[in-house]
Structure 1
């Protein structure tokens, strides 16, 4: 009856087309071709077939037709059912064959391998996969990608000490004679040997080997021990003896001498040391560096000043750069050199020889914090010293030099800086870029005359026998030698070298005078007032008169 009903319904399905009945119903055609949806189920309507298996109805039951690779009553089993893919790999199959798609960081046919597979974490570190790589959780005291490092990794224990990890730090077991956290210390570490003595040790005991000239258990004694250097001289060992570095102004083996040693102060002056030189306190009426001067007859004008008498006293015309009653003052008088620098006069100005560590025109500078760079130079620190970027026209370590530094202006010309070069203000009578020219430059003085500048012009000192503004005149100037005689200066007068046939002081006389040779004879001068007559045939004698 159930089978016949199904067949009946199937026969009506074509008549119901198109079939708009919902699931689990069937369409039948009633009276008048009316389409009716009636409830209806088959065994496959509630089937348990899995994995896209096809349900096959039978009279009272159904069966599942599995796709390739699936099996079981309901096709519920596949090659992936046993969970072959490890580490959360995704299993897919094609027929009876499965494939594992591994999560990042895993590999192998069943994802059985990972970066941790080879055991990369050293020193009992715990490995865990992190993406496509791994990370190690290191035990206390170890670190690094693979826990390969520890406090002992960098070899902190010196001098063959043995390193062992202790918690998050390390501990060094030192060899005999060494101690300290890293076995870095020895009995010599505190530098017990003085004066560059060499320290050696054996176990906990050290020994000092002293440099030549030093002695004592820690080389504490030397020839300087007794203080041989006088006047604050600094003693240093030199081999088995000593040498003294004397303070400024003192000298000698033991610095026992000074500029006052030779008694430079004359006329009972009192000498005192002043830096590298001395100064004299003169007795009443005397003055000068060595008290060597008194009023004008003894040369009171210092520094090449010119003394002239003025009533009962004197006055001094000082050379450039000096001034004062006795020209005793100079640019150094006001003490321009700071910090114990030694001042010396240079032309109309001064220069300073600075003590160690100071520099600059007035020794006013020291390393950069005091502004060592002169002339608006820019100072920059370089290690333990400094360097200066100089402004245009200046150069040198401290920008202390300029084109004027080499003294280009000759003949007392005054040099001034102009941009990257210089200009010279010349003294009267001189000219040229460096004041190198004067009225004497073109050599106006003739005949070996000596030229000297005189104001804006020149004067010639003529050699003996010459005269005139340029020594252009001499006794020969008026041409005293007649008849082509050659005039030459001789002292303050002249002498004439006469041509042949002439003689006399001015070559004014002729050797062959008219009718000297008679009867047609020819007169031939032979030098001076002498002559010979060439006589015609038939005549002879000194004048052809015979």
Structure 2
């Protein structure tokens, strides 16, 4: 029996009538792209033409081949030039550069990220490796790494039940990254208990956890992802030959804590709360989950959904608390926590302790509002105030002042008790230094 499928369509089967079921087929060398001239082929093969194009991945049964490194011979092969830059444009005037597998964005000053999507600080006062982002022309916000809290991330915090806050106003997600689960290929089971932060944005399109190969939105990349979509839990995975996806019944929002059991052994299955168990079989013949990345919970280190594999591209991070997340990779084995050592993530950002609010320890002055994102905390000031605690007045020359000053570019704005004045650079004049000034001969210096 020969079976073939392409582009996720249903498989086509054909039975070979000349080979008995009891016979065993043997294969010698496998050729990719074309067949050498000195190799004889079966007379019924028909005309053979060489392949022209790019081959990115090759798997036979459950084994993934490194096409170049494992090849014995080859001829007239060059790197594939995939036009990544035609599909993923860099943001904020970044310059796209691509090789045969990846894209890179050269970012202008004060921007960072894979797509130059993040604004960055010129000077970083944040402690302990925190991410600094500009909140305004003069104020910054520190997004704290795992285990740290406070306006400058200088306070230590013990986290036993992590609380995630989804995607913040600056485009970053709270997340935890654990070491790769090495023996997850053929059998795995996960136990998960979580509590939602709300019944609206927390369950519309939110990633709970993800592990997988490189992204770029490809269909053929192995991955495992669990998330929330329009009120239901969605469990998706790809073994290399198509996406298998199970969606639960809508969650009962009157429950405070939700329980999820899921796994894969020949077929995938999902059970949520007291709902009936649902199962699915992945398309194609591939049976192993080949993933090499860290195991991400709540979000992603640089969460760019359009760069994740198709089927794992949830648009937001998780919002709420995760009380239990355990895995086992043997049918009769013991469940264990993530990480090596167990329970210890490799990295994280803006993750707090469930039912604890950093805003309880922070007082914003002059009507300012405390905003928290996990352990990251800052004051959102009312009009006329600035600073970490909204205790500094906004002067007429500050970028935050409304209306802004009108000094021309290159001029220096100087605040006065009832307004401001513009100090003009050499060669300009006028109230706002908007006029050019021409000096003539000896009149320049007196």
Higher RCO (CA-CA < 8 Å; seq separation 6+): 2
TM-score w.r.t. the length of structure 1 is 0.19
| Rg comparison, structure with higher value | 1
